Amino acid sequence: MSKTINLFGIVLILATGIVYAEAAFDFEELMETIDTNSRNLQGSISNKDANASIDLAKKMQSDFKLVEGFFEKRGNAADAVIDAKKYEDLAAEVVKFVEANDFDTASNKALELTKNCDNACHDVYKPL
């Protein structure tokens, strides 16, 4: 019984940490970071800086995962959830093409990400 209670306590503490981590960001600040990183990503790709491009694209994947979770919890924004997932996938494609040394395709994917992101939920969901 004691082991069960201890295990439950550990799970509860871990779950609380995960919830707190998701809630512990400023959405507007996150959007500004994504905007800045999307433009910096283009520069890194243009300069054929693979390491910086991969780091930025992976950061954007992570950030869009937070955006996806934000809109899932918010509710009544299924299109924003779908868009965030789409941008996660585009960022993953950028990583894949940069790793393959295909900077032209990586640039096209990064441009697609930036263009679609700018034209998507910003008009519908801003200001929050």
Question: Structural domain boundaries of the chain?
Answer: 27-125
Report how far apart, in Å, the C-alpha atoms of 113 and of each of 14, 76, 79, 81 are: 33, 23, 16, 15
- Residue 53: per-residue pLDDT: 97
- Residue 11: per-residue pLDDT: 46
CATH code, residues 27-125: 1.20.120
Question: What is the reported pTM?
Answer: 0.75
Any idea which residue has 């283009």 for tokens?
Answer: 42
pLDDT tens digit sequence for 57-96: 999 999 999 999 998 998 888 988 999 999 999 999 999 9
Write the CB contacts of 91 (distance below 8 Å, at least 6 apart in sequence): 57, 58, 60, 61, 64, 113
- Residue 63: per-residue pLDDT: 95
